[in-house]
Structure formats: C-alpha cells, structure tokens
Amino acid sequence: MAKLPIVGRSAPRKPNESMRLLVVTIIGVMLGFFIGISFPAVSITKLHFPSSIVSYIEDKNSALTAQAILNHAWTTARNAKGNDTESSSETAMKIYVPTNPRGAESLAPGIVVPESDFHPRRLWGNPDEDLPFKPKYLVTFTVGISQKENINRAVKKFSDNFAILLFHYDGRVSEWDEFEWSKRAIHISVRRQAKWWYAKRFLHPDIVASYEYIFIWDEDLGVEHFNAEEYIKLVKKYQLEISQPGLEPDRGLTWQMTKRRGDHQVHKETEERPGWCTDPHLPPCAAFVEIMAPVFSRDAWRCVWHMIQNDLVHGWGLDFALRRCVDPAHEKIGVVDSQWIVHQVVPSLGNQGQSEHGRAPWEGVRERCRKEWGIFQTRIAEAEKSYYEMMGVPPPNVTFVH
C-alpha cells in the first residue's frame, strides 16, 4: 500500500536558492526607494473634490466639514514624511508675494481684493446681479437731528450718481427714515465726534477708491444755488484735485480765497490782507480751500487721509496743508464760483461740548479748535524739518497765518 505525501512539508532549499532570493529582495527594495524619490510628492491640499461630494459631506454631518477632512488628511500626510521631508514640503507650499498689501504677502495675488466701497449688497441671489448701478461719487455729511430738514434739502441737490453717507454725532439715526433717500444711505453713528474723526476711521482710501470724487461737508450749508452734477463738470474742466463751492460773500466768510466771484466759473488765487501771504502761490492767497465743504479727487484724498491726525478731530490747520497733496497746488486747488453755497454758521457741533468752569459748551470746543491748529502746524513744521535735515537739504522758509 502506497504512503500518502505529508502535506505542508517541503524539501529543504539549497544554499544557492536562498542566496538568490535574498539578492532579489534587496534589489527590489532599492529599486522601490529610487522610484519613490523620483516622483514629486502629491499635495493633499491641491486635491479638488466635486461640489456635490462636499455638499453631501457637510449636509450629513455639519460638525465634520470638508475643510476639516482636508486639514486632517494634510496633517496626517505631513506627519508621515519625517522632519526633512516636512521642511521642504512647507517651503514648497508657502506663497510669498511682496507686492501684495502689507499682511497679505502669503496669499496668492489672484485672491487679494485690496479695495472696497459703500455699495450695499443683498443677502440673496447672484452676487454678479447685486449692483445694476454703481454711484460714481460719494458725499458725506456730519449731522445731528436738528439739521434734518437742511440736510434733506442738500441731499436733493445730488443725483443718483452720488452715494450718501451720514455720520451721526447725536446717536439719533432711525428718525431719518421719513426720507426715502435715507433708507438707501449709509449711516454711521458715534456720539459727540467731529467730521475729521469720522473721516480718519471710516473713509480709508482703499474703502472709497471706487468713487471719483469725495465730498466731506458740514451740515449747515445752504445749497439753493448749487447743483452737484454741474459742479463735477467744472471740477473736471478745470482739472481741480481739491476744491470747494464759492461762499456767499455776505454770510459766514472768513477768507477772501473762498469768496464767490460773480464773474468767474472758477478761481484759483486771490489777494488777502498785507503780510498774510509770503508767496502769491501759497495759502491763503492760493492753493487753499476751507474745511467746511471740501471736495477731493480719489488720488488727492489718498494723500490727505494720511495727513489727518488721529487725535486732532476738528481739522483746523488742515486747509493750509492740503497743498502738499497736489502739484502744482496753485493750479489744482480752486474754488467753483458758479456753483455756490451759503455757510449758515449754525453752532450745532459746539453745543455737543461739555460745560466746564462756568463756560458754555461751545466755548470749550472753540478753544480746542484753536489749540489743534497750533499743534498741527507745529507737527507739520517739525516733521518737514527733520526730513530735510536727514536728506541734508535746507528747509524752505515758509510762514503761515495763525
């Protein structure tokens, strides 16, 4: 009777066969290693999943978002590579674009949006259809409720080409809703602040960059003889970067430069009292408008905004320094005579002050205005002196009226 073979047992290998198997194994490991390092690593963050899959994942479990899955996958893949591979991978992943806005250098430039605007957006629908019409210009008023009717008359002088922005210093905002235009306007409310305080904080040049001209006006201006569209035409015709409407000669007039001339469309220079102008091309005889109703081109405003001081809120002295933001200033700063206004001299903001030492609130406000004028002029002079000394250039000999 024949014996059955024993299952699971094999004949012993010969020594040369064992050596051959060992060599083949070593060669296979080395070949796999060299093939692995010859191909670039696959970046898990560059994988793109279909939107249907992402939506499904997020709908099924809101706590486990698609971004969380990607982050986990990327972390796992990175940790598995070891220190050397991790360092080189991070270097390859990092984006650095020095021409991007400060703080955004690590972003791909195609996603950077450095500028914005005051155009309201819908909370629904296609974003591309939000703005069938974009205003070209921006007008701002610093207001209190006591001047509501006057501001209503003023706003009606501005067409739909103008976006309206109100800065409320008395905190009363909802009461303006009786006007239809107010429902479309932008309202910013901070109590007891002045126009230039708002301007410094809410009119950054990158925010107002979509507007060709920016009007920064007081609330006590009569506009019976003013038309905003005609004003813009004249500003463009005479290439004014900084301007204001002419002032009615009989009301609220401080400087000869801003006095309306009945025989001009625009004027850029004047004569003042003897000794007030060291140069006919310098303020207050030229290159000068007041701070009650200035109008800036977007380029001029970018410079002026940087000159506004955080702690000096009334803006006194700023009008003498505007010339530093355009060149030649005596040609690009002017007064539009044929579109003129009346300064009503209503001390509404002064009444927002606080009575101290038995004085009326407006007295303390006026005193601070004068102090700020001196502080600002000193800062300008010292800053320029330091710069000229650093550059080894003699500073110009220019004096101003205080």
40-53 pLDDT, tens digit each? 444 444 444 444 44
pLDDT digits (tens, 9 = 90+) for 56-71: 444 444 444 444 444 5
Q: Is the pTM of this model over 0.85?
A: no
Distance CA 258, CA 15 (A): 110
What DSSP assignment string belongs to 358-400? T--HHHHHHHHHHHHHHHHHHHHHHHHHHHHHHHT-PPP----
369, pLDDT greater than 50: yes
Could you tell me if 400 and 377 are in contact, meaning their C-beta atoms sit under 8 angstroms apart? yes
Q: What's the full length of the chain, in residues?
A: 402
pLDDT at 155: 98
pLDDT at 2: 45
333-343 and 242-247: which strand pairing? parallel
Distance CA 70, CA 76 (A): 10
Burial 27-40, CB ≥16 within 10 A → b, else e: eeeeeeeeeeeeee
Distance CA 208, CA 165 (A): 11
Of 275, 276, 245, the closest CA to residue 343 belongs to: 245
CA angle 323–329–332, rounded 5-degree value: 120
Give kind and range of the element (H or E) at residue 139: strand 137-143
Banded model confidence at residue 89, pLDDT cuts 50, 70, 90: low
- The CATH number fitting domain 137-346, selected from 3.40.50.10470, 3.90.220.20, 3.90.550.10, 3.40.50.880: 3.90.550.10
pLDDT digits (tens, 9 = 90+) for 213-262: 999 999 999 999 999 999 999 999 999 999 999 999 776 677 999 999 99
What DSSP assignment string belongs to 291-324? SSS-EEEHHHHHHHHHHS-SS--S-TTHHHHGGG
